[in-house]
Structure 1
Amino acid sequence: MAKQRFDALKVVELRQPINVNPPSEKVSDYFGVNTFGLHVMKEQLSTDIYTRLQNAIHKGEQIDENVADAVATSLKAWAISKGVTHYTHWFQPLTGSTAEKHDAFFEMTNDGTAIERFKGSALVRQEPDASSFPSGGLRQTFEARGYTAWDPTSPAFIIESGKGKTLCIPTVFVSYTGESLDNKAPLLKALEQIDKTATAVCQIFDRSIEKVQATLGTEQEFFLIDKALADARPDILLTGKTLFGRTPPKGQQLDDHYFGAIPSRVSRFLQALEIESYKLGIPIKTRHNEVAPSQFEVAPIFEEVNVANDHNQLLMDLMRKVASRHNFRVLFHEKPFEGLNGSGKHNNWSLLTDKGKNLLQPSTKAKENLIFITFFINILKAVYDNADLLRASIASASNDYRLGANEAPPPIISAFIGTQLFNVLTELENNGDIKVKKGDNIYMKLGINKIPPILLDNTDRNRTSPFAFTGNKFEFRAVGSNANNARAMTVLNVAVANQLELFKREVDKLIEQDEKKEVAIIDILRSYIPSVKKVVFEGNGYGEEWVQEAKRRGLSNFRDTPRALQVLKKAATSRLFKRMKIMTQAELFARHEIRLENYTRKMQIESRVMADLALNHICPTAIRYQNMLIENVKGMKDIGLEEETEEVMNLIKKVSKHLNQVKKLSNEMTQERKRINSIDSPEEKAIAYCDEIKEKYFEELRWHVDKLETMIDDEMWPLPKYRELLFLR
């Protein structure tokens, strides 16, 4: 094993940056060339078909057979002209990743002739075998049918793999009986609801607004490790993280990596990634070094949420492929290295009207700022009322390692809004003398007109907040780097849509009672502020004081995934998702079971890999080193240096102590795992793995192994060390 480590180090020393040649000097020349976007549709489709397709995309109108056939014909011609031979329905099952089954365009005629064919029926629907995808009891094993259905709101795209090209058609994935088996279908329904309810609220102020679109910009953090070194670490290969590893003397404490010069090999990787992304219409705008060594970030321009999420899933796949070509392995695990910052996937979310107005952008006019304050307070109210659901939406085995550690937000859901906006809420709450006058100064007494100047430099200053207002958007930064955004975005948009619907209903009721519109709005907003203030927190999210304060406020603190997911089985959750027409109780229960099983299996894998490394790699190395020391002591005694052996004897005793503990803990953990595996209840089993395996053994076993790393001869240690993984260029 040690030989593999040193062979890998020799390989790394010889690595050189790989040249990257963009298709053109201007990104605009090749942006979206592999995407069947609007400009391609206009060229390929007739005016009538194009108009009907756009009505389906933007107004939700039904796509009939004629439109489907016309689109399929154009799509096939466009794809084949680019060298595409196969097509696939690209979907997002509840595994957390993406899936695809490729079919060739060609078919056989009755006389044995091969022709290229792609009908509208093949575009609109396929029937992949669903038997091996998680369903959480939504179907029986013998009922393997699952259907993928075209999502016209997200453009089809071409994936290049070697010399092969495949046309990918974004789709939803549903069961034979219509339940969603994926992450996209609930998200699309949630986005439809936020459009409906947000538009209704906007029309209180401006009747010309006919549509509101949720937007998303995803900051994707990740680690890049040399492939040869990663391949020499079974824990990285099998779990995506290091299960053992001593933190090096120099880590991130000097902050010298953050925003520093990007290393040459990494820079070439990022250039290649951007080229592939641009060809697929993914608008990457930003790239930089993150805080931890070998940690980086890329971020795109804002897009509609569904498209943005598809692009993020596609981006992660591209990153893996491009990284491999550049002899890297990309790590999306939220906490791959102990003692260093973990990686998030910050979801920057806002609402945009069809008039181009960002509803979370303060204005220079007090009257317009009432719209801003309306949405701002309603969103915070939605976060307060649905904090447990938001926590569940970001829960995973890997994100549990990150939340609350090294600058990541704590698991307590709270919102940061800044002192000035907090003062505006306080003024609005306490001002009981509302006088409505004409003109732009009608809300002067409420202080709303003060918002623009105080927000000029009111960007986020609190990196420990899970949900922060950052000037013109909210940033849900507790989402983990390995997650599918759809889960968090579904919950957030459902929560806000529901709250906006309730708000509109309350305002309408007061107006029906002859209350003036502005007064009705402010009265309702004022009634929300006491609840809103409970979820607003401006201080240090890492401190024990916040844990105690959050408890006093009645905020939940779910430290692990199994307990965070319990909210999915609550009656209130079922009522919310049913009322908003997102998911049935059966679909929610299925997700609860699937995610519990996913958690359990990941803990099983980590435990098994940990025991294997400890017993089959670390312990034999420690024994060899111990024997070497014993031989050294014998030799010293043979030449009369018995008094000089004390230090070596102490080292032998220390190695022996840690070695025995590693063996003991590994064997105990294995036996405990066997006991827990016999538990039938998915929830009880997941909690047992959390409490009786992860919490009881992982940290202590790691501590003893890491101690051995500091004692054993560096030439003998089998695993690439942190200093080698993180600092070699």
Structure 2
Amino acid sequence: MSTEFFNVADIFGENVFNDTVMQARLPKKVYKNLKKTIEEGKELDLETADVIAHEMKEWAIEKGATHYTHWFLPLTGVTAEKHDSFISAPLPSGKILMSFSGKELIKGEPDASSFPSGGLRATFEARGYTAWDCTSPAFVRQDAAGGTLCIPTAFCSYTGEALDQKTPLLRSMEAINVQALRLLRLFGNTTSRKVTPSVGPEQEYFLVDAEKFQQRKDLIYTGRTLFGAMPPKGQELDDHYFGTIRQRIAGFMRDVNTELWKVGVSAKTQHNEVAPAQHELAPIYAEANIAVDHNQIVMQTLKRVACQHGMKCLLHEKPFAGVNGSGKHNNWSITTDDGINMLDPGRTPHENTQFLLVLSCILKAVNKHADLLRESAADPGNDHRLGANEAPPAIISIFLGEQLEDVMEQLISTGEATHSLKGGKLQTGVTTLPDLSKDATDRNRTSPFAFTGNKFEFRMVGSRDSIANPNIVLNTIVAEAFADACEVLESADDFDMAVHDLIKKYMIENQRIVFNGNGYSEEWVKEAERRGLPNIKSMVEAIPSITTDKAVELFERFSVFTKAELESRAEIQYESYAKAINIEARTMIDMASKQIIPAVMGYTKTLADTILAVREAGADVSVQSGLLTEVTELLKSTKAALEKLIQATEEAAAKEEGPVQANYYHTDVFPAMEALRAPVDQLEMIVDKDVWPMPSYGDLIFEV
């Protein structure tokens, strides 16, 4: 473990081509033009781009970079990059020059047909473009390849459709900026020039020993354990949560933080999570676009540094059955360029009319588009997690807390809010401890969309997923609600009366989405059904929501997605679900056929030989015979379940691709997988550990 000491302030952002670097290295005119592009969307001319590219190259070379890459977010769920060195054609002398032009900075040409496009691109229609996103700073990544200049880019097809997650995210940010400014102007704000969604994603993950990881085909191929019996001890004692961090893990966390700080990621919080071997890392808030890029860097860094420490980082939402899975809490707020948080209720929220209008608009947005918000967190792995005791239910609802719910009830019942609940003091009963100021509102970890003081926390997002999709949806649905409100208020004769009436109207119409109780209870499932709230339990059930007339109208109104782009994404989602379950099923078939059944057969032979030897010695063999019978029956059940899974998987592969095939994997293949797992997990509890062909749950989560 490294014992090197350093000042965080000295290394933070040292590998980022940030504003400080640009001011120092770029001519004033060039810097000014670039800032206009970043802040106002002004087009950047090629002459200016050439100067920026040259200085960026010189800076990157000083940081040890030999290559550059357009770093982008295709619809694969991970990042993509193609590396080119800075060298140009050799000179007559045999020497080479290091060059990087404005054209190379601004545009790249990856093969668009080789990435998921949902039919937008055919194999023979290969051209696609990456376009420099100057709002997210370039950085030098230092790893085994040396130094690489990473340039965040958008990715679109030759015909202009978005083939990535960044392009629609930037479109949605522009939509909420325009509509939020429109709303602020109605309240007399003439100074704010830009409104930006800010995001702080909390990242959960597991760490397991690399050597044990390599002995599990399911972890290698799918990222989760497809078989595995619970160990005698799991998470029931709650002793891992916020517990003392083990030295091996602490060394890993230190190196992760160092790598992240160097590339400008403000990693702040780290701790043990609820499940054994589970941990969390959370950064400080950043603009949504940068937060999305930073979260991708976080996930890549966690994986890379884990390998350096002889471990593997698991980002699957449910790598171990029976213990908590991993999520990514997406903390979302909207702030102005002059420091106003539009989700800050202030000390007296009942008097804060602007905040109440913003809040009521968000209630309307989430109530109207709960299905879209649910789909934005849809993932094959999240199907295992949502609704369990560590994750919110699949039903979208909003937690406001006692204070805001009381204000809302006052407005609904009397039309006036005259007071706000206060927090008071927390009495500890210990004279040596100071009195603590208590918040007016408790927290609710069972709520999927909770107000937490000056932001909303969307807790559904899966741990390995990009946070782009949830924020695209949030930005766009709130932009729509703001636009609808502005259309009413801009034509009102009496603004004060109109805004008062609109807040009350929105709260009455959308109060069904507010729920402060226990989201895990069966009573809530029944109550949600009574309220008419959707309960979308699986990914395949969620996908259709993005191609409804309502969704198409929403996204086309704000130019975030075209109908063709939405349809392509639905096709990609169906395909990715089918492929994920197919890989899992085939992995189970492989493990059961080649590892588990042969191992158990060998164990039955050992038992049979033991029975013969003990009987020959004249002793009672009832225990051995009973054990042999039990193992043989379970082995028989395993073989039968295996054959059914093989048949279901073959039938699924023959189905028509798209929703038909995806639904078959969900309704037929996945249950067959569960049916195979059941007897195998029982066998693991009986068969000699030395015979069992893979590390157990106990080996994986307690021996890190």
Q: Same fold (TM over 0.5)?
A: yes
The 1:103/1:637 distance shift into structure 2, 3 A limit, reads same
Q: Which residue of 2 aligns with 1:192?
A: 174
Alpha carbons 1:458, 1:471 under 8 Å: kept: no
Cα deviation 1:373-405 (Å, max 9, x = unaligned) = 111121121111110000110001011111011
Q: Does 1:724 align with 2:682?
A: no
Query: Which residues in structure 2 correspond to 1:404-553 (within 5 Å)?
Result: 404-432=387-415, 445-447=416-418, 457-509=439-491, 511=492, 514-515=493-494, 517-553=495-531
Q: Is the 8 A contact 1:362 1:452 kept in 2?
A: no
State the 1:366 CA deviation. 6.0
Show the counterpart of 2:238.
Answer: 255
Secondary structure, in 3 states, of the residue corresponding to 2:460? Answer: coil
Q: Does 1:40 align with 2:11?
A: no
Deviation at 1:575, TM superposition (A): 1.1
Counterpart residue identity of residue 31, structure 1? F
| 1:281-331 residue CA offsets vs partner (Å, 9 max, x unmatched) | 000110000000010001000110100110000111111111100111000
- Aligned residue number for residue 433 of structure 2: none
- Decide whether aligned partners of structure 1 residues 49 and 28 sit closer, same or farther in structure 2, where only a CA change above 3 A counts: same
* Distance in 2 (alpha carbons) for counterparts of 1:236 and 1:460: 38
Name 2:612's counterpart in structure 1.
634
2:74 corresponds to 1:93? yes
Match of 1:622 in 2: 600
- The 3-state SS of whatever aligns with 1:405 is coil
Aligned to 1:81: 62
Determine which of 124, 131, 134 is the counterpart of 2:106. Answer: 124
**Equivalent residue, structure 1, for 2:314:** 331
The equivalent of 1:665 in structure 2 is 641
SS in 2 for 1:165: strand
Determine the structure 2 residue equivalent to 1:5. none
Which residue in the other structure is 1:278 paired with? 261
Give the whole-Å Cα distance in 2 for the aligned partners of 1:259 and 1:162: 33
Task: Give the residue type in structure 2 aligned to 1:27.
Answer: V
CA shift, 1:451, in A, is: 7.1
Identify if the C-alpha distance between structure 1 residues 70 and 367 changes in structure 2 by more than 3 Å, giving closer, same or farther: farther
Large movers: runs of 4+ above 6 Å: 451-455
Residues 1:366 and 1:671: Cα distance change in structure 2 (over 3 Å) = closer
Shift of 1:207: 2.5
Q: Using the aligned pairs only, state the percent identity.
A: 45
Contact 2:260–2:266 (8 Å) recurs in 1: yes
In structure 2, distance between residues paired with 1:282 and 1:459: 31
Q: Partners of 1:67 and 1:453 in 2: how far apart? A: 57
Partners of 1:469 and 1:364 lie apart in 2 by 15
Q: Which residue of 2 aligns with 1:269?
A: 252
The TM-score normalised by the length of structure 2 is 0.96
Q: For residue 346 of structure 1, give the secondary structure of its aligned residue in structure 2.
A: strand
Local SS of the residue matching 1:430: helix
Give the Å deviation of 1:420.
2.2
Q: Deviations over 1:513-565 (max 9, x none)?
A: x22x2221110111111232111111222222211111111111111111100
Give 3-state SS (helix, strand or coil) of 1:106's partner.
coil
Aligned match of 1:654 in 604, 620, 630?
630
Amino acid of the residue matched to residue 174 of structure 2?
E
CA shift at 1:448, angstroms? 5.6
**Contact 2:15–2:263 (Cα < 8 Å) also in 1:** yes
CA distance in 2, matches of 1:20, 1:676: 54
- 1:606 matched to 2:606? The reply is no
* Residues 133-179 of structure 1, C-alpha deviations (whole Å, 9 max, x = no match): 11100011101111000000000000112261110000000000000
Q: Structure 2 CA distance, aligned partners of 1:55 and 1:504?
A: 28
Matched, 1:363 2:346: yes
1:666 CA displacement: 1.1
TM-score, normalised on structure 1?
Answer: 0.93
Q: Which residue of 2 aligns with 1:442?
A: none
Secondary structure in 1 matching 2:208:
strand
- Deviation per CA, 1:599-620: give whole Å up to 9, x if none: 1000001001111111211111
- Are positions 1:677 and 2:653 aligned together? yes
Change (3 A) 1:196 1:451: farther
CA-to-aligned-CA distance 1:351-385 (integer Å, 9 cap, x gap) = 11122121111213568721221111211211111
Letter in 1 for 2:83: H
Amino acid at match of 1:446: A
Q: Deviations over 1:605-662 (max 9, x none)?
A: 1001111111211111111111111111112222222xx2122211111111111111
Map Cα deviations across residues 489-510 of structure 1 (whole Å, 9 max, x no partner): 101111101111111111123x
Query: Does the CA-based 8 Å contact 2:449-2:456 persist in structure 1?
Result: yes
| Aligned residue number for residue 699 of structure 1 | 674
Q: CA RMSD in A?
A: 1.6
Q: Is the 8 A contact 2:403 2:441 kept in 1?
A: no
Unaligned runs of 5+ in 2: 426-436
Supply the distance in 2 between the matched residues of 1:289 and 1:677 (Cα, whole angstroms): 41
Q: Does structure 2 retain, via aligned residues, the 8 Å contact 1:20–1:268?
A: no
**Contact 1:360 / 1:376 at 8 angstroms: preserved in 2?**
yes
User: Distance in 1 between the 2:3 and 2:82 partners?
Assistant: 31
| CA deviation map 1:410-447 (0-9, x unaligned) | 11111111122111111011224xxxxxxxxxxxx523
> Quick one: structure 1 residues 366 and 676, their matched pair in 2 at CA, closer, same or farther if it must change by over 3 Å?
closer
Return the alpha-carbon distance in structure 2 between the equivalents of residues 654 and 531 of structure 1: 59
Go from structure 1 to structure 2 and tell me whether the alpha carbon gap of 1:471 and 1:144 turns closer, same or farther (over 3 Å shift). Answer: same
SS at match of 2:160: coil
Residues 236 and 242, structure 1, Cα contact 8 Å, conserved in 2: yes
One-letter amino acid of the counterpart of residue 72, structure 2: F
Change (3 A) 1:224 1:591: same
Tell me, what secondary structure is at the counterpart of 2:206? strand
